[in-house]
């Protein structure tokens, strides 16, 4: 899959013609490149920190009312709660605390859960990684497989059906699709009985831990949310891979490969695919970066106890420390993976190294 195994394209030929650089200057270039990218990432993070605080501070909210709604609450209690939540402080003071805490690694204390935000994030990280990880892997495999084959033979039956299907699912509101699958497969329809659970991550009361029955139980709960995400997301990979493959179709190196007597599948897999992969790699890194934030709608539809659902719960109050804390984590994740994508690009594409 690495670029070294790919035959020479026009781009790579010109790369060979470019003046070569020695090892020391290459390392120096890389160091400069790395410093530039890391500095840009730090600036992005700082900007997001400020932006996040401003957005959440501007949100219309009355957390004390939301927390105590319907509950006999005296004026004394309201005043105490307002002070306890820090809502009596001016915005600039709250911002100062927010920045200082963030720099010290403290993500704050959730008003709603009465627990450190970091603890809540760690508790819900694993369910999110499981859901998003599995759906991302399946989406990549399915989308790339279909994209490669659709792009290799554009206009054929497989291309028309897979592209149409992908676009249709991509256009469907995730929430609606989730509810539809939930109603169909968790309550059954016609002679089909209920096959999968309506929500949660495991059957209440069942044995937990690493028992095979528990693993199977979690997998069963995972099917519908994962399927919903895959159906909505795989189109991205399918469309980008298809488009990249079509771009490669007319290149002379493919004719050369065919002239060497290679089978069609070999020409496609060993020559066209490696050159068409770069845009998909970018997409994969971006997707992995957003993975940690979960899928708010899908986790909410299926009561999946992950970070997306946690964000939804935080928005309901709104629980500002929790929102700010999750925002920091999500932003940091996207920035880090963007940085990794830049570095990977440098490795995968010689043109980036030269530039």
Partner 1 sequence: MRITRLARRGRPSAHRSVARVRALLAAGTGLALASAVLAAAAVPAAASSGSSGSTLRIQAQTSFSTFNPFTAYFDGDLEVIGAIYPTLTTTNEKGLPVPYLASKWSTSADNLSWTFTIKSGLKWSDGKPITAADAAWTLNLIMHNSVAATSNGALVANFKTVTAPNATTLVITTKAPQANMLYVAGSIPIVPEHIWASEVSGLNNFKNQTTPVVGYGPWQLTGYVTNQYATLTANSNFFLGAPKFHTLIVQYFSNSDAMVAALRSGQLDAVEYGLTATQFNSLKHVKGITVYPQVSATWTAIELNPGARTRSGRAFGNGNPALKDIRVRDAIEMALNKQELVSKTLDGLATTGQGYLPPAYPQFVWTPPASMQLTYSPTKANQLLTSAGYKMGPNGIRIDPKTHKPLDLRLGIHSDEASDAAMAPYVVEWLKAIGIQVTVDSMSFNQLNSDLPKGDWDMLSDTWSTGPDPSYLLSIQTCGDLPLNNGTAGNTDAFFCNPTFDKLYAQQSTEFSTAQRVQTIDQMQQILYQNAVDVILYYPDWLSAVRTDKVKNYFFGTPNAQGFYPTPSQFINWRSATPVASATSSSTSTAIWIVLAIVVVALIGSAVIMLRRRATVGARE
Residues from 211 through 250 that contact partner 1 (CB under 8 A): 213, 216-217, 219-220, 223
Question: Closer CB to partner 1, residue 144 or residue 301?
Answer: 301
Q: What x-and-dash track marks residues 255-294 binding partner 1 by CB under 8 A?
A: ---x--xxxx--x---------------------------
Tokens of 166: 């992908």
Position 300 contacts partner 1 (CB under 8 A): yes
Selected from 285, 309, 327, 337, the binder of partner 1 by CB under 8 A is 309
Please, which residue, 32 or 263, has the CB nearer to partner 1?
263
> Is there binding between residue 165 and partner 1 (CB under 8 A)?
no
Tell me the three state secondary structure of residue 109.
strand
189 forms bridges with which residues in the sheet? 192
Contact present, 281 and 140 (Cβ < 8 Å): no
Least distance in Å: CB of 74 to partner 1?
Answer: 4
Closest CB 203 distance from partner 1, rounded Å: 5
What's the CA gap between 146 and 162, in Å, rounded? Answer: 7
Under a CB-based contact definition with an 8 Å cutoff, are residues 309 and 125 in contact? no
- Near partner 1 in 47-106, by CB under 8 A: 59-62, 65-82, 84, 88
Binding of partner 1 by 193 (CB under 8 A)? yes
The answer to whether residues 336 and 57 touch, using CB atoms and an 8 Å cutoff, is no
Rounded CA separation 332/293 (Å) = 11
Phi then psi for residue 260, to 5 deg, are -75, -5
Residue 156 has phi, psi (to 5 degrees) of -80, 175
Using CB under 8 A, pick the residue from 44, 186, 290, 333 that binds partner 1: 186
Among 204, 209, 250, 355, binds partner 1 (CB under 8 A): 204
- Pick the stretch among 13-21, 38-46, 270-278, 297-305 that binds partner 1 (CB under 8 A): 297-305
Angle at 47 between CA 354 and CA 63, to 5 degrees: 145
Q: Can residue 312 be called a binding residue for partner 1 (CB under 8 A)?
A: yes
Least gap, CB of 321 to partner 1 (angstroms)? 14
Which residues are within 8 A (CB) of 131 and not within 5 positions of it... i.e. 6 or more apart? 222, 225, 226, 229, 294, 295, 298, 299, 304, 306
Is residue 188 part of the contact set for partner 1 (CB under 8 A)? yes
Q: Which stretch binds partner 1 (CB under 8 A): 5-13, 190-198, 241-249, 330-338?
A: 190-198
Residues in contact with partner 1, counted by CB under 8 A, come to a total of 80
Residue 149 or 271 having the CB closest to partner 1: 149
- Measured over the CA atoms of residue 29, residue 34, residue 37 and residue 43, the dihedral's sign is negative
Least gap, CB of 73 to partner 1 (angstroms) = 5
CB neighbour list of residue 227: distance below 8 Å, 6 or more residues apart: 181
- 3-state SS, residue 192: strand
Task: Return d(Cα 196, Cα 33) in angstroms, integer.
Answer: 50
Smallest gap, in angstroms, from Cβ of residue 187 to partner 1?
4
Element (H, E) at 11: helix 10-17
Total length of the chain: 355
Which position among 234, 237, 302, 337 is part of the footprint of partner 1 (CB under 8 A)? Answer: 302
Identified binder of partner 1 from the candidate list 200, 207, 252, 255, rule CB under 8 A:
200
Nearer CB in complex with partner 1: 40/218 = 218
Nearest approach, Cβ of residue 227 and partner 1 (Å): 9
In the chain, the largest separation of any two C-alpha atoms, in whole Å, equals 86
Which residues from 320-339 bind partner 1, rule CB under 8 A? none
């Amino acid at each position: 899959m690495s670029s070294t195994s790919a035959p020479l394209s026009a781009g790579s030929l010109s790369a060979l013609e470019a003046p070569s650089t020695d090892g020391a200057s290459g390392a120096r270039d890389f160091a400069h490149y790395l410093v530039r990218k890391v500095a840009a990432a730090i600036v992005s993070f700082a900007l997001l920190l400020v932006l996040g605080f401003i957005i959440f501070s501007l949100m219309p909210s009355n957390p004390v009312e939301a927390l105590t709604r319907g509950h006999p609450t005296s004026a004394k209690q309201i005043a105490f709660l307002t002070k306890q939540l820090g809502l009596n402080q001016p915005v600039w003071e709250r911002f100062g605390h927010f920045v200082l805490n963030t720099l010290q690694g403290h993500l704050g204390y959730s008003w709603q859960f009465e627990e450190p935000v970091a603890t809540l994030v760690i508790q819900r990280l694993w369910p999110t990684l499981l859901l998003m990880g599995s759906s991302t892997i399946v989406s990549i495999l399915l989308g790339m497989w279909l994209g490669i084959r659709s792009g290799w033979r554009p206009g054929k039956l497989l291309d028309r059906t897979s592209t149409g299907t992908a676009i249709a699912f991509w256009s469907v509101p995730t929430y609606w699709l989730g509810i539809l699958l939930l109603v169909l497969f968790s309550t059954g329809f016609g002679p089909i009985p209920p096959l999968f659970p309506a929500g949660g991550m495991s059957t209440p009361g069942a044995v937990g831990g690493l028992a095979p029955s528990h693993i199977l139980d979690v997998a069963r709960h995972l099917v519908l949310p994962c399927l919903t995400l895959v159906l909505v997301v795989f189109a991205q990979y399918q469309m980008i891979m298809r488009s990249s493959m079509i771009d490669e179709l007319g290149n002379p190196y493919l004719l050369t490969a065919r002239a060497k007597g290679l089978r069609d599948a070999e020409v496609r897999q060993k020559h066209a695919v490696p050159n068409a992969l770069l845009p998909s790699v970018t997409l994969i890194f971006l997707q992995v970066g957003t993975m940690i934030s979960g899928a708010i709608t899908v986790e909410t539809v299926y009561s999946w106890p992950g970070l997306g659902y946690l964000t939804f719960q935080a928005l309901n109050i709104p629980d500002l420390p929790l929102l700010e804390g999750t925002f920091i984590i999500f932003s940091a994740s996207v920035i880090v993976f963007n940085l990794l994508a830049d570095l990977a690009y440098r490795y995968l594409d010689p043109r980036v190294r030269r530039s």
